[in-house]
Amino acid sequence: MDGNGRWAKARGKERIFGHIEGAESVRACLEAAVEDGVKYLSLYAFSEENWGRPQAEVNGLMELLIKYIQEEIDNMMSHHVRFVVLGHRERLSEKVNALIDEGMAKTASNDGTTLIVFLSYSGKWDILQAMKKAACELSPEQFQALEIKDFDRYLVTAGIPDPDFLIRTSGELRISNYLLWQTAYTEFYFTDTLWPDFRKPQFREALAEYARRDRRYGKVK
């Protein structure tokens, strides 16, 4: 969800205003996803690397997240949205973790769109924690016999299908340590639109582009 900072700067405002407006885009895109029957909507809201931002911005983002969860859980309930947070949660504050747990527990049996918010996440961290988990759980023989299809269950995304489509806003052309393992055959979509300007029409334009893609998974059709 890139471009919040630039959106704010272009208006002579502090970066946090861009994040606040970005949260409105989150609301709009979730609404569109629910309306259009998208089964999983994943948002890369805060990377492990983002902890290195100025403390005031980190605090502002955490406050925004708290506010979002407090305000949106009831709305998610009425739209059957399952709320999930994935990432290195030990790094989040007790307050944030408690709210996340509460929101996840409340929406756990909803069977509509699953909204996954990646917080304190990095793809390399995910692969490493998966390796460690597998090494602890398995005997050396089982570890040696581990196959690609069996590795998925150790990643934080266990049980969640790999993403079909990845949207990156604001003209950035990188994956920035997002779902490195899981995006092996994901279709990418890059747009110059800054995240605060990415609303329902832009989301639907992206989905229409996805519908035009020809997915061959390395094979011949």
Report the alpha-carbon distance of residue 95 to residue 75 in Å, rounded.
21
Q: Which residues contribute to the site for ligand FPP (CB under 6 A)?
A: 1-6, 19, 22-23, 26, 43, 45-46, 50, 61, 64-65, 68, 117, 170, 195
Q: Which is nearer to ligand FPP, 43 or 180 (CB)?
A: 43
CA distances from residue 209 to 52, 77, 103, 127, 191 in whole angstroms, order as listed: 35, 30, 33, 30, 12
> Would you call 50 a catalytic residue per the annotation?
yes
Q: Which is nearer to ligand FPP, 152 or 197 (CB)?
A: 197
Count each helix (H run) and each strand (E run) in the chain, helices first. Answer: 8, 5
Report the alpha-carbon distance of residue 7 to residue 196 in Å, rounded.
7
Q: Which is nearer to ligand FPP, 19 or 160 (CB)?
A: 19
Report the alpha-carbon distance of residue 116 to residue 46 in Å, rounded.
12
> Would you call 2 a catalytic residue per the annotation?
yes
Cβ 7 to ligand FPP, closest distance in Å? 7
Cβ 183 to ligand FPP, closest distance in Å? 18
Q: Which residue is nearest to ligand FPP (CB)?
A: 5
Cβ 62 to ligand FPP, closest distance in Å? 10
Contact present, 204 and 32 (Cβ < 8 Å): yes
Token pair of 207 as six digits: 């989905």
Q: Which is nearer to ligand FPP, 87 or 160 (CB)?
A: 87
**Hey, which residues are catalytic here?**
2, 50
